[in-house]
Chains A and B, each alone.
Chain A
Amino acid sequence: MKIFSIAKSRLAFLLVFAVLLLIGAPFSQGKVYLNINDPDLVPFPIAVADFTSPRRTNDIIARNIQNVLCNDLMLSGLFRVIGSKDFPLKAKKDSILLDFSDLDVWDGSGVDVVLTGSFGIVGNSLIGKFRLYDLVEKKFMRGLRYEGKIKDWRHIAHKIANEVVAQITGEEGIFDTKIAFVSNRTGNKEIYLIDFDGENLIQITHNGSINILPRWTADGKKLLYTSYMKRNPDLYAVDLSSRENYRISYQTGINASPAWSPDGEKMVLMLKHNDRSHLFLMKVGAKKSIRLTSGKVNYTSPSWSPDGKQITFVSDRSGNPQIYKMDVDTKKMERLTYHGQYNVTPAWSPKGDWIAFCSRQGQLFTIFFITPDGRQLRQLTYGACNNEEPTWSPEGRYLAFSSTREGRSAIYVMNVNGTHQRELVKFQGEAMNPSWSPYLK
């Protein structure tokens, strides 16, 4: 019987195998899968022609726009810009005329896209256009016309860079976004704004007091900050177009680190309650605030998840500051970090995949990532210096942070994978508390 059963099982196995073969046969004939990994880590090659003005009367401004645009593309780390001196001979002439009569002349150049542009001044306005050609598929990709104030030429350059990135990567560009931060370069801690490329520095507050922790509203039109103007650290808002300041929260004790929800309808704020800092939820238009946390421990540094359902924050309820997350509706709390004794300033990524935070390792602060489920931990910065206060670019590709790598504290920008670190702007004095704007319309 045993032998019989073995024979039977073998038979069954053979039968199954045969059936599988029969089923598999048509599929194996139909499609084959090839695995390709380990790509060459090379930026996308883009050719940028010399920008000119229509009658060659305002070539300087056209060239300035081109330079800012090229700098943006290079800073992004996504592109290798090829200048007109490296163009194929036959393409040089056409590139100034904006359009190419024959894209075949680019064959073998190893370039994917070519950008041409023309800008001139008509009256008081700056008028121009650009063209983007796909050299792989040999077709016209995109062309736009711009008209604006002459003083906004830099903004126009950023807009074109955005368009290039959108066309090539399918993701909205962030070259016209800004980073708010605090600096003591005038002797007092004041709020400043700067462009992604480290240009166009603007001082926002001039009150001579202490102004800290700037945070953006969801629409990017206002900036919230905490100021000691009236002795108590109250929360203020400044309208960036009118530059008017409003005091919005002035409870005794600290009113700070506001986090505006992605939908723009709620704000979580840190307020003092029973000698401890707690988190309060405020809805636009509602008079009363809701206390989210309780107990004789501190809660601070809230940051919203991109879906607007959860917040991450710091609490010392375990005895030392650690990162937590909370479902805002149910107030259900969960501790995320168990690594290190001191973890602060969490920032939820716009894609929702990571929470960046700052961790003290020995005597130094280092930036880490953790997944929102707390399972995966990654160290982003290294070196004998403090790297603190990470803040995400709106598409989640870059982080701004403060670093003491050159002695004083300064603002740096890096890629999400820790590469392409650069100092945003160099000036006398210290810079800290960076906050990256949302997309600015």
Chain B
Amino acid sequence: MEPIRVAFILSISFHLFFFGVSPFFVPKTKICSAPYIVTLIQEEPKKSKKIQLESLKKEEIRPKKSLSIKNESKKKKVKSKKKIPRVTKKATLPKVKKLKKKVKLEKKDPPLTNSHKVVQKAVAQIQQKEKQKSLQSIRQSVEDIQRKLLEQKIAALQETQVTTQGRPDFYLKTYQDQVWNLIKSQWLIPDSGYDRGKELLTVISIRVLKDGSVQDIKFESESGEAVFDRSALMAIKRVGNFPPFPREMLKDSIEIGIRFFP
């Protein structure tokens, strides 16, 4: 039993010493808060598996959110700021629990002198201060990391857009919408031109060149109703030339299949 007590007292004294001395080192951390905290986050995973998992999850989840935010405005950045406190609380929880346990243990100690009380108060104060400081610093660091991540993701997105032609896809789609609108506006058929009780489908494929001119108009499949097929073909021919491609589309020609059905 004795060695345990000795160890216990030793640990208390060590703690007291540590907390008593630590305030002298605080200013230093204030000066260069960011790097210190970054290292904290890096080190933590090694210490406990739970934190590791948590931090991993956070890292995984958040970028996805930031992905959906993409290039858009400050509002979303504000949102991400709001989310930070929750995260930081979670991150600091294990520490605080440990500390609390230690404090409880101290309380259970039979000899409670005035000096002890003073020390306890001081310890509590220090703990609070530490909490606040660590909260602040963690917030900052998380924000920094988030920003960095955002920036990285945006940069990566932009890169991928350029490389996989993600942005030209957007232009391609709007161009296809234009094509759709033009053909639709020109498609007319006499109501006596086809049997409206039947399911009909005519597919015509066209190749539109960069300058908007149409080449290779051909039937991919016919409906069997001559007037219906003809009306579909006429709709395309009535449009004549489509608008030229926007430069961002980065294509020389596109092939479009048009399915006509009543």
Task: Tell whether A168 pairs with B230 under 8 Å between CB atoms, given A78-B192, A417-B192, A420-B192.
Answer: yes
Residues from chain B with a CB closer than 8 A to the CB of A137 are: 237
| Chain B residues whose CB sits within 8 angstroms of the CB of A34 once the complex forms | 176, 179-180, 183, 256-259
| A-B contacts besides A36-B183, A78-B227, 5 pairs, CB < 8 Å | A31-B256, A32-B255, A38-B262, A42-B189, A42-B190
Residue of B nearest to A396 (CB): B195
Nearest-CB residue, chain B, relative to A110: B238
A79 at the interface (CB under 8 A from B): yes
CA of A104 to CA of B194 in the docked complex: distance in angstroms?
A: 31
Residue in A31, A37, A44, A171 whose CB lies within 8 Å of B188 = A44
- Sort chain A's interface into a size bin: 35 or more
- At the interface, yes or no: B241 with Cβ under 8 Å from chain A? no
Supply 6 A–B pairs (Cβ within 8 Å), ascending by A: A34-B176, A36-B184, A41-B190, A42-B190, A170-B230, A376-B197
Q: Are B192 and A76 in contact (CB under 8 A)?
A: yes
Q: List A11-38 residues whose CB lies under 8 Å from chain B.
A: 30-38
Chain B residues with CB below 8 A from A168, complex form: 230
Q: Is B79 an interface residue (CB 8 A)?
A: no
Question: Please, how many residues of chain B have a CB less than 8 angstroms from a CB on the other chain?
Answer: 39
Residue of B nearest to A380 (CB): B197
- Number of inter-chain CB pairs below 8 Å: 109
A141 CA / B190 CA spacing, docked (Å): 21
Indicate if A397 sits at the interface (CB-CB under 8 A): yes
The answer to whether A40 and B189 have CB atoms under 8 Å apart is yes
Contact for B190 among A35, A36, A79, CB less than 8 A: A79
Q: A31 and B193: CB pair below 8 A?
A: no
Give the CA-CA distance A171 to B222 in the complex, in Å.
14
- B-contacting residues of A (Cβ < 8 Å)? 30-44, 76-79, 112, 136-137, 168-171, 353, 369, 376, 378, 397, 415-417, 419-420
Contact present for A33 and B257 (CB under 8 Å): yes
C-alpha gap A112/B230 in the complex (Å):
12
B192–A415 touching, CB < 8 Å: yes
A35: chain B residues within 8 A (beta carbon): 259, 261
For residue A40, which residue of chain B has the nearest CB?
B188
Interface string of B219-262 (1 = CB under 8 A from A): 00000001101110011011010000000000000111111111
- The answer to whether B180 and A30 have CB atoms under 8 Å apart is no
- Residues of B contacting A42 with CB < 8 Å? 188-190
Interface of B is mostly: mixed
Q: Is B108 an interface residue (CB 8 A)?
A: no
A30 lies within 8 A of B227 (CB): no
Please tell me which one of the listed residues B190, B254, B258 contacts residue A77 in the complex, with CB atoms under 8 A apart: B190
**Is the pair A369, B234 in contact by a Cβ cutoff of 8 Å?**
no
Chain B residues with CB under 8 A of A79: 190
Q: A38's closest neighbor in chain B, by CB? A: B262
**A32–B176 touching, CB < 8 Å:** yes
CB distance from A189 to the nearest CB of B (A): 32
Complex Cα distance A210/B191, Å? 40
| Complex interface: chain A residues within 8 A of B238 (CB) | 112, 136
Tell me if B75 counts as interface (CB < 8 A to partner A): no
Q: Are B234 and A136 in contact (CB under 8 A)?
A: yes
B187 within 8 A of A: yes
CB–CB B226/A36 < 8 A? no
- B229 → chain A, closest Cβ, in Å? 7
In the bound complex, do residue A36 and residue B180 qualify as a contact, i.e. CB atoms below 8 Å apart? yes
- B98 in contact (CB, < 8 A): no
In the complex, how many angstroms separate the beta carbon of B174 from the nearest chain A beta carbon? 13
Query: Considering only CB atoms, which chain B residue lies closest to A31 in the complex?
Result: B255
Contact check, A41 vs B259: say whether CB atoms are below 8 A apart: no
Check B188–A39 contact: CB distance below 8 A. Answer: yes
Min C-beta distance of A381 to chain B, whole Å: 14
CA distance A35 to B193 in the complex (A): 20
Cα(A112)–Cα(B186), bound, Å = 11
Contact: A417 with B262, CB < 8 Å? no
Q: Looking at the assembled complex, report how far the CB atom of B245 sits from the nearest CB atom of chain A, in whole angstroms.
A: 14
Question: In the complex, A420→B238 CA distance in Å?
Answer: 27
Closest Cβ of chain A to B8, distance in Å, is 43
- With a cutoff of 8 Å between Cβ atoms, the chain B residues found around residue A41 in the complex are 188-191
